[in-house]
Amino acid sequence: MRIIIPWTKEDLDLLKECEGKNIEEIILLFPNRKRKRIIMKCRDLNIKIIFSPKGTKWSEDETNLLLKVYKDKSAFEISKIITTKTTTSIRNRCCKLNLQINKLEYHYDNKDFITCKLCGIEKEYTGDNFPKNSLICKECSNKLNNIEKYKRKHNIILDFNKMYNTYSIIEWYEIFRTNKIKCIPKEIFTNENILIIIKYVLTEILNKKSRKEILEVSRKELYKYRLAGMLTKIDSNYVNILNQIFPEFNYKIWEMNGVIGHFWEDINNVDDYMRWFVENEVKIVDAKNEVSRIFTVSSLRSINNHILNYLLLSMKWYSSYYEWLNKLYPEWELTTDHFKQNIAKDGETLDSMEELKVYEFIKCDLLFDIKTTNNTSSKDKFYNLDEKENYVPDFISKFINPEIKLIIEYFGFWKDNPDNHIFIEYHDKTLRKIKFFNSLDDYKFIGLFPSDLKNNFQGVREKLTSFLLENNIPIPSPLKEVV
């Protein structure tokens, strides 16, 4: 069966560019087509080509060799002996000298090894390795095709020996970035090279060098540099990508914009964050002295670490930094003494310095009997069914006659206009808590805010006094001054 491969527009364009070239050269560009067909097509399209290659002049030695070996051999077999001549040239020469050679061409079944004229590698002569009647192996033919394609389509010159490595991956990226090619050749589009490209964009184009500067570049910003597809190919998680490029920086997910809300509902993430913080902020050799200095709500606030305070005070995975650090670093052998700042005059441990102040003021100064919920029994835990949240209030107080239970909660992170996602979350949770505590039949509720601590606890005094008056409870003497 004869298969005729139709000529594509690209093929015809390429053929037109062959005007004036030698047929032997042209054949190399169309390894799937018969010589005869190429010649016919050129004739059809009036493309003038050259038939007798340059330098095909036969030397006396070559002619003598031909005379010696031609018998019973095909032009192809002879071309393996007289390697300086093409099969056409051999056929023409034999014709001229009236030498009868074997008309049958070389067959794949003949099983033989042939050295490719381009790469010089000896390969078995099979259809897998060589196009029919060609002394250039398939691999090399494909290379030639690709070289031609890149030249024709994009005006990019590839070196035969280096192929895609003719240019560095960065050079390829620049060609791609400036829209000269639709994609980087798949042969060099490896994950390793993509990482090199992303690093190049970050450190060279955007000129970001430090850990912090790189962190500030968002994934979206990189899309402007035609990196969207590459980023997706590597990993959906941008933190993982950055860590592959800059393992020395060891980025954490919470350092990127927007840790998703549910993230802190996994205690492993919470602990991971503490470990990260300790590694970066605490001199482990002097851990005992360091913890007393660092792990108080106010000092964490002053070094701008709101997340730790938020996790302790709002998420309540742990009742204190003491408990938290002791679990993660038992080898430090911490005792409550190391967290002295938050221990009240009566020995009670409080979550934060502010909470301690509130506690001491209400209990010691106002002689108001309140209890912390630190060693919480289950009766001090509240479950908000509507929101599916657990709450443990800071303080609970009981008044025997009449029997009234009071919940006091200090919202130390309250801001009227929260400005980042942690405070916004806290803000919303506070509103939910207030609504919930106010809805309880068996409890009265007082919510305290940082502004209530101003002017020597004026807000605290006022809120407590009006609570006592409303419920006909005798006012302790230190509070009477206010009334």
Residues near Zn ion (CB under 5 A) are 116, 118-119, 137, 140
Closest contact distance (angstroms) between CB of 145 and Zn ion is 13
Nearer to Zn ion, 99 or 119 (CB): 119
Q: Coil, strand or helix: which one is 163?
A: strand
- Sequence-distant (≥ 6) Cβ neighbours of residue 385 within 8 angstroms: none
Enter the DSSP assignment of 58.
P
Nearer to Zn ion, 61 or 112 (CB): 112
Closest contact distance (angstroms) between CB of 119 and Zn ion is 3
Euclidean distance between CA atoms 246 and 27, whole angstroms: 50
- Cα 127 to chain centroid distance, Å, stands at 44
The backbone torsions φ and ψ at residue 426, rounded to the nearest 5 degrees and listed phi first, read -65, -45
Nearer to Zn ion, 136 or 197 (CB): 136
Closest contact distance (angstroms) between CB of 3 and Zn ion is 25
Nearer to Zn ion, 160 or 263 (CB): 160
Closest contact distance (angstroms) between CB of 117 and Zn ion is 7
Closest contact distance (angstroms) between CB of 196 and Zn ion is 30
Are residues 176 and 184 in contact, defined by beta-carbon separation less than 8 angstroms?
A: yes
End-to-end CA distance of the chain: 112
Closest contact distance (angstroms) between CB of 133 and Zn ion is 15
Nearer to Zn ion, 160 or 383 (CB): 160
Closest contact distance (angstroms) between CB of 137 and Zn ion is 3
Task: Give the amino acid at 159.
Answer: D
Name the residue with tokens 């190391």: 338
Q: Give the DSSP letter string of 192-244.
A: HHHHHHHHHIIIIIS---SHHHHHTS-HHHHHTTT-HHHHHHH-S-HHHHHHH
Q: In the structure encoding, which two tokens stand for residue 226, read together?
A: 């035609």
The backbone torsions φ and ψ at residue 191, rounded to the nearest 5 degrees and listed phi first, read -60, -40
Which of these, 420, 426, 429, 430, lies nearest to 258 by C-alpha position?
Answer: 420
Q: How many Cα atoms within 13 Å fall on the side-chain side of residue 454?
A: 3
Euclidean distance between CA atoms 219 and 214, whole angstroms: 11
Closest contact distance (angstroms) between CB of 25 and Zn ion is 16
Euclidean distance between CA atoms 393 and 404, whole angstroms: 16
Nearer to Zn ion, 51 or 160 (CB): 160
Nearer to Zn ion, 137 or 282 (CB): 137
Closest contact distance (angstroms) between CB of 115 and Zn ion is 9
Nearer to Zn ion, 115 or 244 (CB): 115
Nearer to Zn ion, 137 or 300 (CB): 137
Which of these, 321, 357, 367, 330, lies nearest to 450 by C-alpha position?
Answer: 357
Nearer to Zn ion, 138 or 211 (CB): 138
Closest contact distance (angstroms) between CB of 164 and Zn ion is 17
- Sequence-distant (≥ 6) Cβ neighbours of residue 101 within 8 angstroms: 70, 73, 74, 75, 78, 90, 91, 94
Euclidean distance between CA atoms 93 and 44, whole angstroms: 28
Q: b or e along 150-188 (b: 16 or more beta carbons within 10 Å of the residue's beta carbon)?
A: beeeeebebeeeebbebbebeebbeebbeeeeeebbeee
Nearer to Zn ion, 37 or 123 (CB): 123
Closest contact distance (angstroms) between CB of 130 and Zn ion is 9
Which of these, 103, 130, 94, lies nearest to 114 by C-alpha position?
Answer: 130
Nearer to Zn ion, 140 or 406 (CB): 140
The backbone torsions φ and ψ at residue 128, rounded to the nearest 5 degrees and listed phi first, read -70, -35
Closest contact distance (angstroms) between CB of 140 and Zn ion is 3
